[in-house]
Amino acid sequence: MRLGSIFLFVALCSFTAYYIYEPIPEEIEERWKLMLINSFFRSLSHLADLSELLGLKDYMGVMYIITVVEKVVPLSDELVKVTEEKFDEVEVLLYQPKQQGADSELRGAVIYLHGGGWCLGSSRMSPYDLLARKIAAELNAVVLSVDYRLAPSHHFPVPYEDAYHVVKHFLQERVLAQYSVDPGRIAVSGDSSGGNLAAAVAQQLQREPGQRIKLKVQALIYPVLQALDLNTPSYQQNQDMPILPRTLMVRFWSEYFTSDKVLFRAMMANTHNNPESSNLLKFVNWSTFLPETYHRKYSYSAPAVVQGVRREATGMDGPSRSLTDPRASPLLVPDIALRSLPKAYIVTCEYDVLRDDGLMYVTRLRAAGVDVTHEHYDTGFHGAMMFTVSPTDFQIARHMTDNYIKWLKENL
Ligand SMILES: *[C@@H]1O[C@H](CO)[C@@H](O)[C@H](O)[C@H]1NC(C)=O
């Protein structure tokens, strides 16, 4: 019995030491909590690798557990009425505020796209459910939380198209009238891959001259914005950071396009660019678009351009064309296409592989004359804003949420 517990203790310690030991920057608040969460994520990721290797279940299928454990049944409460709807065949959760006397008054609306690398996540996860309720109640706004279909079952452009179809469906006079929404006060927003979808949809609407009802604002929380350079300084600096190490982000990117591992390996080596995408590298040139302070110890070298290798190896054209598609990489459009975009709120975190995607978009949008509020969190890490549910709650999540809501209140 005693020996048993000693053994268990030692096993637990070595397990913990192995998984937990990961240099997490001193600046990060509540480091221990992050280390513990990280050890859970890493264990799960190893389990997922093993499962895929053994042919049991694919990697993302196992990682999806993260989504499942946080799923809730979204119920109405005294402040917000929650219903499940289908907008143009896409599942959405609709949050309507129940404020007194609000019936005759038109309200704003926020179309929200959850994160999870296009492969994980759901609007039914408790952090997203909580956020939607908070936005609805505090802004007296209608919130549309979109459950777009996910990769790898549904590769690009399906997740994007689901998001786009919901927005198009919603931005019709008769639909807005049904929910008492003011057509001049609609936001699109999202975090991580949801920020990618939000930015992409905002751009697409601007490309359509026939689109009468427009988005007023876009709020992008540590968005993913480009697939061409996966070695920006933030990718290098944060390659082992918890929640979203570089390998996982590369995995998300490659799974968004294809399940063929050839693309994953090429992206890991940053040798996935071909002559077509090489013409677009100027739009993601961090040497030009990052403020000097972020250059620090990194020197720019353009990603390698490989002549047709990947296409021949994978025997398909799809992923190589998707790479250059601005609906996947919103940073790849010329300045002229940025000019008329809605006012933007962009969040970046210092300890995030995606930091530089966000920073480059801030620079490019501002240069194109778009009004951008940029909120940079020096002690932030990727995914931080969604850690709002105990016991995995962080102070910074509350802080970020408050700032986000405040901006929406002032600008929507
Ligand atoms: C990136 O920017 C640097 C400095 O502005 C420039 O020297 C380099 O040629 C650019 N490379 C590409 C691929 O745009």
Position with higher pLDDT, 25 vs 316: 25
Which atom number of ligand 1 is nearest to the Cα of residue 285? 1
- The pLDDT-based confidence of 17 (bands split at 50, 70, 90) is low
Which atom number of ligand 1 is nearest to the Cα of residue 288? 5
| Distance from C-alpha of 129 to C-alpha of 162, rounded to nearest angstrom | 19
| Ligand 1 centroid, distance to 397 Cα (angstroms) | 36
- Domain membership of residue 370 (yes or no) is yes
User: Where residue 339 sits, what CATH number does that domain have?
Assistant: 3.40.50.1820
pLDDT digits (tens, 9 = 90+) for 91-111: 999 999 997 665 678 999 999
| Ligand 1 centroid, distance to 83 Cα (angstroms) | 50
- Domain membership of residue 18 (yes or no) is no
User: For the whole model, what pTM was predicted?
Assistant: 0.94
Q: First and final CA of the chain: distance in angstroms?
A: 63
Residue nearest to atom 7 of ligand 1 (CA): 287
- Domain membership of residue 109 (yes or no) is yes
316 pLDDT higher than 90: no
pLDDT digits (tens, 9 = 90+) for 144-199: 999 999 999 999 999 999 999 999 999 999 999 999 999 999 999 999 999 999 99
- Domain membership of residue 298 (yes or no) is no
- Domain membership of residue 126 (yes or no) is yes
- Domain membership of residue 184 (yes or no) is yes
Q: Which of 79-88, 235-244, 304-313, 367-376 has the lowest mean pLDDT?
A: 304-313
Which atom number of ligand 1 is nearest to the Cα of residue 278? 13
The count of domains in the chain is 1
3-state secondary structure 232-297: CHHHHHCCCCCCCCHHHHHHHHHHHHCCCHHHHHHHHCCCCECHHHHCCHHHHCHHHHCCHHHCCC
> What is the domain range of residue 379?
72-227+326-411
pLDDT digits (tens, 9 = 90+) for 117-140: 999 999 999 999 999 999 999 999
| Ligand 1 centroid, distance to 302 Cα (angstroms) | 8
- Domain membership of residue 394 (yes or no) is yes
- Domain membership of residue 138 (yes or no) is yes
Ligand 1 pocket (Cβ < 6 Å) reads 281-282, 285, 287-288, 300, 302
